[in-house]
Amino acid sequence: MVTRTASERREERRQAYDAYLKECPARQLLDRISDKWVSLVLVALSDGPRRYSELNHTIAGVSQKMLTQTLRSLERDGLVTRSITADVPVRVDYELTPLGHKLMPVMAAIKSWAEENIEDVLASRERYDRSRPDND
Amino acid sequence: MVTRTASERREERRQAYDAYLKECPARQLLDRISDKWVSLVLVALSDGPRRYSELNHTIAGVSQKMLTQTLRSLERDGLVTRSITADVPVRVDYELTPLGHKLMPVMAAIKSWAEENIEDVLASRERYDRSRPDND
DNA sequence: CTGAATCCGGTCAGATACTG
DNA sequence: CAGTATCTGACCGGATTCAG
């Protein structure tokens, strides 16, 4: 037929909405800081520059790949700077930019809410799980 | 040998760190609100209760599965309530709890930062990408 | 020391079909 | 109307290996 099917129209709506979401600043920021390693790196850099190896040690669980990937994306977004000292062996320092520093209060707000309310959340979870022991 | 290898000790460190992260309140909150649909649902509910079908329509891109899953997890965490009206057809309303409402300022802080700084971030991205056109 | 490249196993979101 | 159940393909993180 010539007219679009319902599913086709739904698909169009979905794509338009996806495009809308991609442009939403808050969505983009959430995608950035919600990354598992991003927040840890930001915190690790919050009180001064750090070497790659320092970060790798401080954030014990991270793999080289993920650490590098995270740092690259943060550099791309202008949140951290990367400075190479052509020594032997090579030395690379990462540091928060002013823009990166401006992000810290937001992180603090998240942390603050979490610490104040996490007990309620955990209690609610327990209650929920106890009331439905079958759904696992 | 009897002594643990370096990789074994590293593995232990990693697991200990993972456990530590799982207990970190801020990490847990980030995991929660960073979920793609959670923020959208919270915003959609921020000015009053909504029916399932309303949410499904408002958040155009979401699938039934994801919407239900998201709502369940929010209910489990005590952020929204679910109330069924045994009618024909069934009617289900979702509403923010007080705890859920308390989360809105945090969302607002994120949104605010994003709207104020997204341009800098985007500009930085363009600059970065222009300077390395080969890395794609 | 810092990082790139590759492979791979698990996870997760979406489509589809079915139910009270 | 408001879900549940199942399947599947895409994506992602980690381990490993190689390089400047």
Is B76's CB less than 7 Å from nucleic acid strand D?
A: no
| Sheet of strand A50-51, all strands in order from the earlier edge strand to the far edge | A50-51, A91-96, A80-85
Give the rounded percent of residues in chain A with a pLDDT score beyond 70. Answer: 87
Residue pair A115/A106 in contact (Cβ under 8 Å)? The answer is no
Angle between helices B38-45 and B98-131 (to 10 degrees): 130
Residue A3: phi and psi, rounded to 5, are -70, 145
Average pLDDT, whole number, for chain B? 88
Q: How many Cβ atoms sit within 10 Å of the Cβ of residue A120? A: 16
Cite residues whose beta carbon is less than 7 Å from strand C.
A 7, 11, 14, 51-53, 56, 64-65, 68, 71-72, 82, 84, 89-92; B 35-36, 61-66, 69, 89-90
For strand D, the positions having any atom within 7 A of a protein Cβ are 1-6, 13-17, 20
Would you place residue A8 in the very low, low, confident or very high pLDDT band (cuts 50, 70, 90)?
low
Token pair for B89: 């057809």
State the pLDDT at residue A22: 76
Residue contact A110–B14, C-beta within 8 A: no
Give the rounded percent of residues in chain B with a pLDDT score beyond 90. Answer: 65
User: What is the per-residue pLDDT across B86-126, written as a single tens digit (0 to 9) for each?
Assistant: 888 899 999 999 999 999 999 999 999 999 999 999 999 99
Give the rounded percent of residues in chain B with a pLDDT score beyond 70. Answer: 87
Residue A77: phi and psi, rounded to 5, are -85, 0
Residue predicted with more confidence, B32 or B41: B41
Instruction: Check whether A7 has a pLDDT greater than 60.
Output: no
User: Shortest Cα distance from B60 to chain A (angstroms)?
Assistant: 6
Would you place residue A136 in the very low, low, confident or very high pLDDT band (cuts 50, 70, 90)?
very low
Is A25's CB less than 7 Å from nucleic acid strand D?
A: no
Instruction: Check whether A1 has a pLDDT greater than 60.
Output: no
Would you place residue B135 in the very low, low, confident or very high pLDDT band (cuts 50, 70, 90)?
very low
**Among A65-79, B2-16, B104-118, which is the least confidently predicted range?**
B2-16
**Among B5-14, B46-55, B123-132, which is the least confidently predicted range?**
B5-14
Instruction: Check whether A79 has a pLDDT greater than 70.
Output: yes
Could you tell me the pTM of the whole model? 0.88
Strand A80-85 and strand B50-51: the pairing is unpaired
Residue contact A39–B18, C-beta within 8 A: no
Domain ranges of chain A: 1-34, 37-131
Compute the average pLDDT of residues A102-124: 95
State the pLDDT at residue A6: 55
CA of A135: nucleotide with nearest C1'? D4
Instruction: Check whether B64 has a pLDDT greater than 80.
Output: yes
Would you place residue A87 in the very low, low, confident or very high pLDDT band (cuts 50, 70, 90)?
confident
Residue pair B49/B57 in contact (Cβ under 8 Å)? The answer is no
For the structural domain made of B37-131, what CATH number should be given?
1.10.10.10
Residue pair A105/A33 in contact (Cβ under 8 Å)? The answer is no
Residue predicted with more confidence, B59 or A6: B59
Residue pair A31/B120 in contact (Cβ under 8 Å)? The answer is no
